[in-house]
């Protein structure tokens, strides 16, 4: 019995030993054959070959350089991107030895998400031996200047890639416009569908409209559209195609679209009229913050004792050898900017004398502002129009009869410029500013200009290719014989805003009386439009000398596309128009030239919430 048990144990032990030792021997043998050394492994890797053939999908061949012909590039459009990726995936399945090339192609596809184009890095057909043969012909030409050619090639290739990427930065809205057209067509189909006709299609169109409107959102350019939006666009096109077969009545559809177009045009016209009215209303009214500022300054002015209300250097007011500037305004901040910008731009501020004329209501506020904020070394003089006794006796009734409801035109301050010789009887020359200007260069050169016996020096506005272009017949009625006998409709016009007046010559020619003559005739028949400009053209007709355009830049209150170099070269910037820089409707691009002359940290500006 024992012998039998021993015989059974021996084969069992043998089998156990075999099952343990056999795997160990097998694994050790495989490892020995698999690791010949690191050098052989590297050599095996060097024998791998990359795929050099390329797939051409309506490619556009580009030249890489001029001197050195490098590998050619291919540019694929967006709609070919899917085919590029699919081809690379199919090649990966069919041929495993080209896996590295497929990785490069996938990387190019990933780059296309940001650029919109696919750049194929290589376009050289053939084996590595053929590439070596090509290198034999290239090598002798660049032995002496290998690094220079290489740098040239890299530069040309970078310029080439930059040129290829340029179209992606172009703002395109083709898809967005197409989506909007789809929405209009869908709504037209819904409005023309009779009640109960194909209710399933009607529901489908409503769903598509909601989906497309949600997908578009506030997008304006194609580059901002998501993939889901493009998918919704395709779905909408399918639904519109169905609707086109169900509702084939072209005449009724055309009638409906014409009605929709007419309604849209009426809405646009109404919106434009409302916008124009609101802009004019905003231009005529005084902002709440500026009204608060005037009230604060007025209260502070009357709190001062009379001896503290006087300005220094009053003996310079009638010195004809100094440079005299005048501005007539009822706006505190506007006057402050005109004075501050002129003084800060001047090379010799001591020679500047500024005359500010306002009405009795704003006289305390403007006086208090300049008492608190002295204009450096310049002399300041504040006057009220109500203190001109001679004006009230001779001309006050005339000034009150202006035929305009706009206070900008009917204001006595607006027509007071025609009385400069009477206001400043001891001066020979004066530069007159509108209150919506900013001076950014020294104006000393104006005083040495040759006036050629003329009275008014101004910048012309008779260039047809400019926004400031004005013709005489724009504001003057040339259908009346009284006008046609005296003026030429094609005569060159000019602008107020910054004018150099020879007061001595003005008095000699008695142009103020001529102004009154034209004004009285205008009361009897409609000759001039409201405002001082047409009367200025008539009064100073043949008495105006042209100033260089760099002295005075117009249009900052209405023209959006003024060139930067034109602004930088101008000595005076004029915010003519309704969009003044102190109003919310002012053009933001030009406001900084005005606001930099206002100290918004001033306590009174802070109290009244005046911000730039």
pLDDT of residue 164 exceeding 50: no
pLDDT value for 304: 94
Give the per-residue pLDDT at 500.
Answer: 97
User: How far apart (Å, rounded) are the C-alpha atoms in residues 392 and 409?
Assistant: 19
The C-alpha atoms of residue 97 and residue 137 are separated, in whole angstroms, by: 29
Please report the pLDDT score of residue 83 as a whole number: 43
**Quick check: helix, strand or coil at residue 321?**
coil
**Which pLDDT value is given to residue 353?**
97
Helices (H), 541-584: 564-569
Using CA atoms, how far apart are residues 108 and 118, in angstroms rounded to an integer? 6
For the chain, give the percent of residues with pLDDT over 90: 46
Residues in Cβ contact with 38 at an 8 Å cutoff, skipping those fewer than 6 apart:
none
> Mean pLDDT in the chain?
77
Confidence band (pLDDT; 50, 70, 90) for 332?
very high
Residue 405's pLDDT is 52
Q: What is the SS3 assignment for 424?
A: coil
Sign of CA dihedral 177, 179, 180, 184: positive
All residues at 6 or more sequence positions from 588 whose CB lies less than 8 Å from its CB, including other chains:
none
**Max avg pLDDT among 30-34, 309-313, 353-357, 384-388:** 353-357
**For range 240-264, the mean pLDDT:** 78
> Would you give the distance in Å from CA 469 to the centre of its chain?
23
Q: Compute the distance between CA of residue 182 and CA of residue 236 in angstroms, rounded to an integer.
A: 7
pLDDT of residue 611: 86
Chain-centroid distance, C-alpha 260? 32
Q: Say yes or no to pLDDT of 539 above 50.
A: yes
Specify the residue for token string 């117009």.
Answer: 554
- Domains in the chain (CATH in brackets) are 174-283 (no CATH), 288-608 (3.90.550.10)
At 60, which helix (H) or strand (E)? strand 60-62
Rounded to two decimals, the pTM is 0.62
pLDDT band at 32 (very low <50, low <70, confident <90, very high): low
Q: Higher-confidence residue: 584 or 407?
A: 584
**What is the pLDDT averaged over residues 446-466?**
92
Using CA of residue 224, residue 229, residue 231, residue 236, what is the dihedral sign?
negative
Instruction: Report strand pairing: 118-119 vs 73-76.
Output: antiparallel
The residue with greater pLDDT, 524 or 506, is 506
Going from the C-alpha of 549 to that of each of 438, 495, 546, 572, the distances in angstroms are: 15, 11, 9, 10
Compare 243 and 124 and report the one with higher pLDDT. Answer: 243
Q: Which helix (H) or strand (E) holds 325?
A: strand 323-328
Confidence label for 321 from pLDDT (cuts 50, 70 and 90)? very high
What is the average per-residue pLDDT within 231-257? 81
Q: Between these two residues, 124 and 264, which has the higher pLDDT value? A: 264
d(CA 576, CA 597): 18
Q: Pick the closest to residue 325 from 306, 307, 351, 301 (CA basis).
A: 351
Determine the Cα–Cα distance for residues 574 and 458; give it in Å rounded to an integer.
13
Give the angle 53-59-60 at the CA atoms, nearest 5°.
Answer: 120
Q: What is the mean pLDDT of residues 161-175?
A: 54
- What percent of the chain is helix, strand and coil (3-state, nearest 5)? 60, 10, 35
pLDDT band of 261, cuts 50, 70, 90: confident
Hunting for tokens 């054959």 — which residue is that? 33
pLDDT band at 249 (very low <50, low <70, confident <90, very high): low
């Amino acid at each position: 019995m024992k012998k039998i048990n021993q015989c059974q144990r021996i084969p069992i032990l043998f089998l156990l030993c075999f099952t343990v030792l056999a795997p160990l021997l097998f694994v050790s043998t495989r490892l020995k054959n698999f690791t010949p050394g690191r050098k052989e492994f590297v050599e095996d890797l060097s024998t791998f070959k990359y795929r050099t053939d390329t797939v051409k999908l309506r490619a556009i061949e580009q030249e890489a350089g001029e001197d050195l012909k490098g590998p050619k590039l291919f540019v694929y459009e967006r709609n070919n991107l899917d085919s590029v990726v699919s081809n690379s995936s199919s090649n990966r399945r069919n041929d495993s030895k080209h896996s590295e090339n497929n990785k490069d192609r996938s990387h190019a596809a990933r780059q296309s998400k940001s650029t919109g184009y696919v750049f194929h890095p290589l376009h050289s057909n053939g084996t590595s031996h053929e590439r070596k043969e090509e290198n034999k012909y290239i090598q002798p030409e660049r032995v002496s200047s290998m690094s220079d050619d290489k740098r040239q090639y890299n530069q040309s290739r970078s310029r080439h890639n930059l040129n290829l990427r340029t179209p992606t930065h172009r703002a395109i809205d083709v898809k967005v416009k197409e989506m909007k057209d789809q929405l209009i067509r869908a709504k037209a189909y819904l409005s023309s569908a009779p009640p109960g006709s194909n209710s399933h299609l009607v529901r489908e169109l409503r769903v598509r409209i909601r989906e497309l409107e949600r997908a578009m959102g506030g997008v304006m350019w194609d580059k901002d559209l998501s993939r889901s939006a493009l998918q919704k666009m395709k779905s909408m096109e399918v639904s519109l195609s169905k609707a086109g077969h169900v509702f084939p009545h072209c005449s009724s559809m055309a009638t409906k679209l014409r009605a929709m177009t007419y309604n849209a045009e009426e809405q646009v016209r109404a919106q434009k009229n409302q916008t124009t009215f609101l802009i004019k209303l905003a231009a005529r009214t005084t902002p709440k913050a500026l009204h608060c500022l005037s009230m604060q300054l007025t209260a502070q002015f009357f709190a001062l004792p009379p001896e503290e209300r006087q300005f220094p250097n009053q003996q310079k007011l009638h010195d004809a050898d100094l440079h005299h500037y005048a501005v007539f305004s009822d706006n505190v901040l506007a006057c402050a900017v005109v004075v501050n910008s002129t003084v800060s731009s001047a090379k010799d501020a001591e020679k500047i004398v500024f005359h500010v004329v306002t009405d009795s209501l704003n006289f305390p506020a403007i006086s208090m502002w300049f008492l608190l904020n002295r204009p450096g070394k310049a002399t300041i003089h504040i006057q009220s129009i109500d203190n001109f006794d001679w004006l009230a006796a001779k001309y006050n009734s005339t000034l009150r009869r202006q035929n305009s409801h706009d206070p900008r035109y009917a204001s006595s301050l607006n027509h007071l410029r025609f009385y400069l010789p009477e206001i400043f009887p001891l001066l020979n020359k004066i530069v007159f500013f509108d209150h919506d200007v900013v001076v950014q260069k020294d104006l000393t050169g104006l005083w040495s200009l040759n006036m050629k016996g003329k009275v008014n020096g101004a910048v012309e506005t008779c260039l047809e290719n400019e926004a400031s272009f004005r013709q005489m017949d724009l504001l003057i009625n040339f259908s009346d014989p009284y006008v046609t006998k005296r003026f030429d409709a094609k005569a060159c016009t000019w602008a107020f805003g910054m004018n150099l007046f020879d007061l001595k010559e003005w008095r000699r020619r008695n142009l103020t009386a001529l102004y009154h003559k034209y004004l009285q005739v205008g009361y009897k028949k409609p000759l001039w439009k409201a405002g001082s400009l047409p009367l200025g053209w008539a009064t100073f007709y043949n008495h105006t000398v042209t100033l260089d355009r760099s002295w005075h830049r117009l249009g900052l209150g209405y023209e959006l596309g003024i060139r930067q170099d034109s602004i930088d070269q101008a000595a005076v910037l004029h915010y003519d128009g309704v969009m003044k820089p102190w109003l919310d409707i002012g053009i933001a691009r030009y406001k900084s030239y005005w606001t930099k002359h206002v100290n918004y940290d001033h306590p009174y500006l802070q109290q009244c919430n005046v911000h730039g």
